[in-house]
Amino acid sequence: MSDILVTGAAGFIGFHVCKALLERGDKVIGIDNLNDYYDPRLKEARLSELAGYKLFSFQKLDVADRAGMEKLFEKSEFSRVVHLAAQAGVRYSVQNPQVYVESNVVGFLHILEGCRHHKISHLVFASSSSVYGSNTKVPFSTEDFTDHPLSLYAATKKSNELMAYSYSHLYQIPTTGLRFFTVYGPWGRPDMATFLFTKAITEDRPINVFNFGKMQRDFTYVDDIAQGVLSVLDRPPVSTIEAPDTKDGQESLITSKLPAPPYKVYNIGNHQPVELDYFITLLEKLLNKKAIRNNLPLQQGDVLSTYADIDDLTHDTGFVPVTPIDKGLASFVAWYKSYYG
C-alpha cells in the first residue's frame, strides 16, 4: 500500500478514515490545524488513539497556510490525498463567513495546487449534501441542479466541486468528490445533533428541536462512511471519450461531445432517511430518559429533508451501508458514556 495524506485527521470523519486506512496496512500522514471551533481536547484524544499505529505520523498544519502546504507536498512521498479538512457547520457560516472562505476555498486551492505539481494519483475530497439547497425532489441525485445553496458553507462546498473539475480537466488529476449525508457515530462532533441531544438529555437540559421535529435526515454511520471513502480511494476515475452525436452517419461538429476528465462526484449516505422525532425517541430509549423539547421553527440555512441516491456509488465501488440507525445510535451512546463518564 502507498503513503496517503489525510487532511483534517483529528476531525470526526478524518479520524475514522485514518483508522480504517491504518488497520488495512496503509501508511498515513495526517494534518490538522486543531482549531477551537469545538473542544480541541476531543481532537487531541482522537490523535492519541491514532498515535498507537506505527504507520501514522502527524503534523499540525492549516491547509490555508500556503507556504506550509507547499513544503508538505515537496518533502512528503504520499501518492494519494483524502482531503477532509474544512470549516464545518451550516449555522456557524452565517456568523463567521471569512473563516469558511479561508479554509474551504483558499485551503482547497492549496490542495489542488499540491496535487497538480506533485503528480498525485487520486484526490478524494469532502463535499456535502448541503449543496442540494432547497431541492425538494427525493432522493437527491448527483444529476440534480445544485446552483441554489442556502448557506455559505454549502456554497463553499459547491465551489470545491467546480474547482476540482477544472483542475481535473486542465491537468488530468483523477479527482472524486463525496457528498456526505449527516454522519454520526462514536467520536462525533459536539456541534452535531446526536452529540448535542445526548449531552442535553443526560444533563436534564432542554433540546432545540427545529421545525418541530418534522425534518428528515439521511443519518449515516461513520464506519460505513470510512469504508465508502476507502472504496472510492482505491478506484480513481479515468478519462472517457463519449461517442459524438451523428446524423445520417455523419458526425455533427455542433453536437460532438468533449472528452470527460477523470472526475466523479458521488452521494455517500445511508439511503434511509429518518425523521427527527423518531431519532429523538430512539435516543430517549437508549438513555432511559425523556427529552425536554424546545420546539422551534426551521432555522435559516437548514433544509427540510436529506435523502441520498447512492446507486452510482454502489454500482462503481460496491459500497453498501450496513448500520441501521438503532445500532449506530447505541454505539454512539456507549462511546459517549465511556468517554465522558
Beta bridge partners of 82: 6, 124
Instruction: Give the integer Cα–Cα distance in Å for 48 and 291.
Output: 33
Q: What is the pLDDT of residues 193-202, one digit of tens each?
A: 999 999 999 9
Residues facing 305 on adjacent strands: 216
Q: What is the pLDDT of residue 224?
A: 98
Mean pLDDT along residues 107-127: 97
Mean pLDDT computed over 27-43: 96
How high is the pLDDT of residue 132? 93
Just give the CATH number of 3-181+221-271+308-322.
3.40.50.720
Structure confidence at residue 248 (pLDDT): 54
What's the pLDDT score for residue 261? 97
Report d(CA 84, CA 239) in Å as an integer.
24
Whether the Cβ atoms of residue 37 and residue 92 lie closer than 8 Å to each other: yes
Q: Which of 24-28, 86-90, 297-301 shows the lowest per-residue confidence on average (mean pLDDT)?
A: 297-301
Using one digit for the tens of pLDDT, what is the confidence trace for 118-177? 999 999 999 999 999 888 888 999 999 999 998 899 999 999 999 999 999 999 999 999
Determine what percent of the chain is predicted with pLDDT higher than 70.
Answer: 94
Cα–Cα distance between 186 and 49 in angstroms, integer? 13
Q: How far is CA 153 from CA 129, 265, 288, 318, in A?
A: 11, 18, 35, 30
Q: Which of 37, 100, 153, 263 is catalytic?
A: 153
Residue-level pLDDT at 94 = 75
Q: Can you say whether the dihedral through the CA atoms of 6, 7, 13, 15 is positive or negative? A: positive
pLDDT value at residue 305: 82
Q: Grid coordinates standing for 98?
A: 471569512
Q: Residues 74-103: what's their mean pLDDT? A: 90
Q: What is the pLDDT of residue 254?
A: 47
In this prediction, residue 247 carries a pLDDT of 53
pLDDT number for residue 304? 80
pLDDT digit string, tens, across residues 258-273 = 789 999 999 999 999 9
Pairing of strands 3-7, 27-32: parallel
DSSP string covering 260-289: BPSEEEEEES-S--EEHHHHHHHHHHHHTS
Per DSSP, the three-state class of 240 is strand
Known catalytic residue at 336: no
Q: Is the pTM of the predicted complex or chain greater than 0.75?
A: yes
